[in-house]
Structure 1
Amino acid sequence: MGRIHIREFHDDDLDAVVRLWWEARSSSEQPVYSLAEVTASCREDHAVVAVRDEVIVAAAVGRAAHAQGWVVFFGIAEDARSENVSGALLDALERKMAPIGLSTLSVLMPEGSRLDLLTSNGFQLRHSLRYLERQMPVQRRELDLLKDLGGRILPRHLWENVAGMRREKRLLEERLVAPLAQPDLADRYGVVPPRAVMLFGPPGTGKTTFAKAVASRLDWPFVEVFPSRLGDGKNSMASSLRSVFERIDELEHGVVFIDEVEEIASRRSDPPTPTQGVTNELLKIVADFRAREGMLLICATNFVRGLDAAFLRHGRFDYVLPIGLPDAEAREAIWRRYVPAELAAEVAFDRLVLESDGLTPADIEYAARRASQEALARALATGVGRRPEERAELTTSDYLSALSATRATVSEEQQAAFLEDIDDIARL
């Protein structure tokens, strides 16, 4: 069975949407809008479909009224409901409708409907009519600004996709997400929502993944500032950095991420280094940034010891959090992400988890992709496993072989230094 992908509605998809509408009508989830309204919106308004093996298995149709968008039809074939297609489908419809300036996307559902398909994707239940809506993360006036900054709205569920790493997730949930997402609750306990946080750890351990997951969890735009792109020859790095943050300040909400921040925040010395001016500017920016509500600055570094001491003082970064190598649960989740689902039952994940101890998520991804590529090359050379009715020839041995050829990103010395940094520098 092939994978599902989402695309825009085409005119020749109409019969399939009609079929989904009739299937919904024959179940307990009778459509609120008539077939005539749904087909008219397919042609004249906004629609996306989910396709597997050239067969449409789901559809979402939307219509706009002033600043409010309405989902006039949302149907998923019974055999596709277990594949979590609802979130991707609704996100695709939202992206298609966002440029027309919506503030809310709403759904009316009849009694007996499976509301979990919507509530698990950002919609909130309103009063007895079962009216559901979710706020658009970015308003129309901010779309061009966000695009200019290179920012984006990340898919929902990134937080849930970070499997394992329970200690790290718990720290981020308690320290960052909860106070920002529930400021009233935080205020009751005297907790001040964080404004800036530093993530540190060996390279490849998922600091960027966690930053994106926090933005996804908050449903805030994600803007990454790249130190290597600052300065254009006309303006200094410090001036460019200040200009970028002045534009970011126009956003209502946002998670701003600076990876490899040590490039612009290294220890200052006498005589001054070429980057000392941008280090001074960044210190001022962090201070100004802390005065803003609804914004979070996340910096990440592989070399926390190399940062200027001023960055790690209380009052600049609320927390200095370690992100280490994935634990056994996380390693298994990473392996399962890259092993084809139809082969998973025959793969010895316990062996892969054991043999990948000490590897980063990026290392495991490399090994998994290498095993898949080698197996594909073998199928092309021998012809075995090429036909659709044949089982793919990809076994535990292939993954173990790929692991044996994978070099660990993090050395034992780096891991030992990281554990020392947790004791000496981390602020939880």
Structure 2
Amino acid sequence: MADWHVRDYSVDDLEALLRVEAESGTSEEPPMFRLSDAVSALQSGAPAVVAVVDEVMVGAAVSRVEGDRAWILRICMLPSWRAQGLGSALLTALERRLFDDGVRTVCAVLPGDETGAAALHNRGFETRSGLVFFEKHASVTPQEVSLLSTIGAEVPPRGLWSRVAGMEQEKRFIERRLVLPLSHPQLAAQHGVELPRAVMLFGPPGTGKSTFAHAVAGRLGWPFLELFPARLAAEYGLATGLSRRFDEISRLDHILVFIDEVEEVAGERSGADATAVGVVNELLKAIVRFRAREGRLLVCATNNVTTLDSAFLRHGRFDYVVPLGPPDGVARAALWESYLARSGAEADVAALASASEGFTPADIAHAARTVSQAMFERSYDTGTRVDPTTADYLEAIRSTHATVSTAMAEEFEQQIEMFARL
């Protein structure tokens, strides 16, 4: 038996428990109960237990009591302590606490592959077949629907985040630094974390900057609005259009605003004409107003961060300046696996990832679509399904012109050293 000690939770355990919880997840599905629910339960004195080894927390279980029924809100443990009986030990101690307090029924709802599921089975918890869990969150108020339609905003589906294949390092950074504090603002405030208000994404064309912005909005459940400078200029004049649109945005409780190719409206003012200078000044003022309210995030993107006005990037305007470059080998393999799974094809993923070195996600998508189209046409012409081979994909890769040249890649690396703020 592993040498752990299970005891009741104390108020001094919160920070350690949050660290364990951050490393514990094993499922792609979101938990039934939010982390803020578990923290609220802990702060109200709900029954909870922790497991420690040499005074270091390695696991925890948190509950909430409602009459004679209790819900288990979290079962978490460090990865190195899984499959050693720790989950069952935590549940045993927590059950004892709950039953001593008069609880008659203990319930838990979590994904079948999540940490703690095996422990629940081992402790005799029964699964209820034939039940379907229904859930719906209102992302906008009825009063906001009309305004969103007027300004051209949309509410992206939440599943976009899970569809962003590869780029795991970038996804983890955005998940932890942007999504997590914005999803749990009260918990972030307890730790003195200032909520992010604006982030700059930079990198060569086709590296997924727009895709990331959409996915973050979907992950947060916030409306997504892309500002198109040319459209604003045609309707109102660019400076006036920016001011007007940001005033309209201020009436929304939550919004993610995205400006692609932001250098069009925030280029270097030195040597620019009066109109261009006025546009940059107006955008800088709009960002200050935008940052003054919670529940909003500005995401700007540029292919070349050196073209931006120096005042635009200074501290206090953008919390993070994040490089998004061509995917590495692991990310390219993940992208290829995603496309192969979508088409039901089989191929040597390692060979495809190696052959597509230097490709952006957009380049890989183009090569994959080329093969899918060719197989579709062959199947139609022959009347028999034709499946692609590794050779078909390698030929498509060879015929695809990489977006990022060697010179562009070198310039991007220099920009990372000069401008990245993570």
Task: Confirm or deny: 8 A CA contact 2:165 2:338 kept in the other structure.
Answer: no
Task: Confirm or deny: 8 A CA contact 2:378 2:386 kept in the other structure.
Answer: no
> Is 1:398 equivalent to 2:358 in the alignment?
no
Give the TM-score normalised by the residue count of structure 2: 0.67
Q: Which amino acid aligns with 2:329?
A: A
Which residue does 1:422 correspond to in 2? 416
Aligned residues: 300
Which residue does 1:11 correspond to in 2? none
Residue identity over aligned pairs, in percent, reads 51
For 1:320-339, list aligned pairs within 5 A.
320-339=321-340
**Separation (CA, whole Å) in 2 of partners of 1:339 and 1:132:** 32
**Separation (CA, whole Å) in 2 of partners of 1:197 and 1:369:** 32
Q: SS where residue 289 of structure 1 aligns?
A: helix
My pick for the range that moved more, 173-182 or 355-364, is 173-182
Task: Confirm or deny: 8 A CA contact 1:222 1:257 kept in the other structure.
Answer: yes
**Separation (CA, whole Å) in 2 of partners of 1:207 and 1:270:** 29
Task: Confirm or deny: 8 A CA contact 1:227 1:263 kept in the other structure.
Answer: yes
Give the TM-score normalised by the residue count of structure 1: 0.66
Q: SS where residue 298 of structure 1 aligns?
A: strand
> Is 1:242 equivalent to 2:243 in the alignment?
yes
**Separation (CA, whole Å) in 2 of partners of 1:247 and 1:157:** 28
Task: Confirm or deny: 8 A CA contact 1:343 1:394 kept in the other structure.
Answer: no
Which residue does 2:402 correspond to in 1? 408
Task: Confirm or deny: 8 A CA contact 2:210 2:260 kept in the other structure.
Answer: yes
> Is 1:182 equivalent to 2:184 in the alignment?
yes
Post-superposition Cα deviations, 1:342-373, rounded to whole Å, max 9, x if no partner, equal: 643x3111111111110011111111111122
Q: Which amino acid aligns with 2:279?
A: V
Structure 2 CA distance for partners of 1:271 and 1:240, relative to 1, 3 Å: closer
Q: CA deviation at 1:240?
A: 0.9
Q: CA deviation at 1:302?
A: 0.5
Post-superposition Cα deviations, 1:266-286, rounded to whole Å, max 9, x if no partner, equal: 000245254222111100000
Q: SS where residue 388 of structure 2 aligns?
A: coil
Which residue does 1:150 correspond to in 2? 152
Q: Which amino acid aligns with 2:283?
A: L
> Is 1:164 equivalent to 2:158 in the alignment?
no
Q: Which amino acid aligns with 1:318?
A: D
Q: Which amino acid aligns with 1:267?
A: E
Which residue does 1:206 correspond to in 2? 208
Which residue does 1:349 correspond to in 2? 349
**Separation (CA, whole Å) in 1 of partners of 2:259 and 2:158:** 21
Q: SS where residue 146 of structure 2 aligns?
A: helix
For 1:245-256, list aligned pairs within 5 A.
245-256=246-257
Which residue does 2:311 correspond to in 1? 310
Task: Confirm or deny: 8 A CA contact 1:164 1:328 kept in the other structure.
Answer: no
**Structure 2 gap segments, 5+ residues each:** 1-105, 115-130
Q: SS where residue 421 of structure 2 aligns?
A: coil
**Separation (CA, whole Å) in 2 of partners of 1:403 and 1:278:** 42
For 1:27-426, list aligned pairs within 5 A.
116=111, 133-232=135-234, 235-270=236-271, 272=273, 274-339=275-340, 341=342, 343-344=344-345, 346-381=346-381, 383=382, 386-387=383-384, 391-426=385-420
Structure 2 CA distance for partners of 1:371 and 1:232, relative to 1, 3 Å: same
